[in-house]
């Protein structure tokens, strides 16, 4: 079976979904495990997402966590709509 | 049917009964609005994802939009010749004073044929997943569109026959897409194109009765309405993951 490589946007969507599935905040180690990326690659993506205001790094109960922001929710909503549009119209 | 010879032997076509004049323009205006929505959203998807398939889809519906707008202008020239007495109409009329409403209708019909076939052809290329990087395929298909337009000017039925054939391939691809993903929205897209296919079958025979033209236009309207349904459904519901 040929496994299709994920595109940049799909990786971003997967990272955001991982955070969302954990109620909007996630520990860095959990995110690394769930995102299926190397530590270096994940760090790159995290920096991009923080810069774009999709996620933020926060201290929750003394622990470092990544928290999903409104821009992240908006991106995910739009990404899922485009995916549905693409599937429905056979693109 | 209005059939008048103009320079270069291009005939003028109006197929509907007199009482239907203008109603077909309204139907085409609805098709324009729905096409523009698809153009806008697929272009937005292209801007976000940078995936060419969205740009091609947008171009396909832009071509169909152009086809319908041109047809509206062409038929209005016959339905409402008084339009040439309006400010814009008279300035256009003075610029192209050799053009009669019938000339405008004929030229518009040729452009309509070209853009309709081009739009359907691009759509066929995207959804059948032909390799876009093979430019020879594209050149051949664009040549085919020009050829089909040329022949259609002489035999209008060839236009509807060609669009019927391309739509049949498109509908088949959408049927396969529906079987593959089994979603309600994909089903609506498949139904929409099936209805558009039926409307093209009716258009082939419009020369025999103007009632057939009315039926074809109404079926086409239904097809475009069905095309709007999946689009609305996508925006109506929030993805499951975001529901609380």
pLDDT (tens digit per residue) in B83-139: 556 666 666 666 666 667 677 777 888 899 999 999 999 999 888 876 666 778 788
Candidates A7, A17, A84; nearest CB to B241: A17
Candidates A9, A88, A91; nearest CB to B185: A88
Residue B191's pLDDT is: 96
Distance from CA of B171 to the nearest CA of A (A): 11
d(CA B103, CA B25): 18
| Residue B170 β-bridge partners | none
Q: Which residues of B touch A (CB under 8 A)?
A: 41-42, 45, 48-49, 53-54, 57, 126-127, 173-174, 177, 181, 183, 185-186, 188-189, 230-231, 234-235, 238-239, 241-242
**Whether the predicted interface score ipTM is above 0.90:** no
d(CA B208, CA A23): 65
B177 CB neighbours in chain A (<8 A) are 87, 90
CB–CB of A90 and B234 under 8 A? no
Domains and CATH numbers, chain A: 8-85 (1.10.10.10)
Using the Cβ of A81 and the Cβ atoms of chain B, whether some distance falls under 8 Å is answered with: yes
Looking at B10-24, B164-178, B226-240, which range is the least confident one? B10-24
CB–CB of B127 and A90 under 8 A? yes
Nearest to B61 by CA among B36, B44, B41: B36
d(CA B9, CA B14): 16
Mean pLDDT by runs of 10 across the 91 residues of chain A is: 70 90 85 85 89 87 86 88 91 87
Residue B220's pLDDT is: 94
Per residue in B187-242, pLDDT (tens digit) is 999 999 999 999 999 999 888 888 999 999 999 999 999 999 998 998 886 654 44
Question: Rounded to 5 degrees, what angle do the CA atoms A14, A18, A20 make?
Answer: 115
CB–CB of B189 and A87 under 8 A? no
A21 CB neighbours in chain B (<8 A) are 241
Q: At the topology level of CATH, where does B7-242 sit?
A: Rhopdopsin 7-helix transmembrane proteins (1.20.1070)
Whether B177 and B190 have beta carbons less than 8 Å apart is answered as yes
CB–CB of A85 and B177 under 8 A? no
Distance from CA of A81 to the nearest CA of B (A): 6
Using DSSP's 3-state secondary structure scheme, residue B5 falls into strand
Residue B1's pLDDT is: 44
Residue A4's pLDDT is: 64
Q: What is the mean pLDDT of residues B162-179?
A: 94
Nearest to B196 by CA among B234, B229, B237, B160: B160
Distance from CA of A64 to the nearest CA of B (A): 24
CB–CB of B183 and A87 under 8 A? yes
């Amino acid at each position: 079976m040929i496994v299709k490589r994920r595109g940049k946007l799909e990786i971003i969507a997967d990272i955001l979904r991982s955070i969302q599935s954990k109620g909007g905040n996630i520990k860095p180690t959990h995110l690394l495990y769930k995102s299926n990326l190397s530590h270096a690659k994940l760090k790159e993506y995290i920096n991009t997402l923080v810069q774009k205001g999709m996620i933020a790094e926060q201290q929750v109960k003394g622990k470092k966590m990544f928290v999903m922001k409104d821009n992240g929710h908006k991106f995910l909503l739009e990404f899922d709509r485009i995916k549905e549009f693409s599937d429905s119209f056979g693109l | 049917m209005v059939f008048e010879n103009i320079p270069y032997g291009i005939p003028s076509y109006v197929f509907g009964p007199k009482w239907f004049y203008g109603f077909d323009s309204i139907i085409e205006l609805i098709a324009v609005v729905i096409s523009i929505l698809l153009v806008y959203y697929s272009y937005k998807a292209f801007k976000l994802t940078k995936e060419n398939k969205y740009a091609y889809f947008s171009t396909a519906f832009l071509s169909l939009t152009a086809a319908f707008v041109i047809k509206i202008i062409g038929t209005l020239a016959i339905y409402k010749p008084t339009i040439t007495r309006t400010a814009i109409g008279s300035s256009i009329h003075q610029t192209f004073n050799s053009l009669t409403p019938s000339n405008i209708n004929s030229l518009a019909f040729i452009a309509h044929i070209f853009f309709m076939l081009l739009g359907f052809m691009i759509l066929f290329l995207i959804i059948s997943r032909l390799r876009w990087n093979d430019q020879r395929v594209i050149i051949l298909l664009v040549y085919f569109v020009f050829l089909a337009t040329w022949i259609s000017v002489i035999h209008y039925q060839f236009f509807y026959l060609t669009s019927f054939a391309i739509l049949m391939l498109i509908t088949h691809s959408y049927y396969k897409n529906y079987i593959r993903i089994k979603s309600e929205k994909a089903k609506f897209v498949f139904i929409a194109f099936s209805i558009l296919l039926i409307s093209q079958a009716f258009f082939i025979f419009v020369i025999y009765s103007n009632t057939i033209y009315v039926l074809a236009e109404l079926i086409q309207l239904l097809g475009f309405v069905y095309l709007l349904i999946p689009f609305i459904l996508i925006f109506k519901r929030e993805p499951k993951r975001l529901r609380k």
